[in-house]
Amino acid sequence: MEKQGWKTMALIFIFIFILENIFLVIGYIQITDEENKTMECYYEVCEDYIEAEYDPYSKLCSCYVTDVLGYLVVNKSRWLG
């Protein structure tokens, strides 16, 4: 029994290692996708505006300008889904 125990444990660790690497790759892809959307919002959609904001949850890019009193108001919004 003891000679078979290390084989089972090795298979479990290999499975966990592969699963962990899959999750890391998926996370990396999602992070780089969100960074690309943020850069698209700042430099392509809102390039002529004073301020920009990208919300990753709603995937909404908002461009702001200042009004007469100096407050930031939304001038343009675009969904980057």
Confidence of residue 1 (pLDDT cuts 50, 70, 90): low
Per-domain residue ranges of the chain: 2-79
Q: What pLDDT, in 10s, does the model give residues 17-70?
A: 999 999 999 999 999 998 999 899 989 989 888 899 999 899 999 999 999 998
For residue 2, the model assigns a pLDDT of: 64
Question: What proportions of the chain, in percent to the nearest 5, are helix, strand and coil?
Answer: 55, 25, 20
pLDDT at 76 over 60: yes
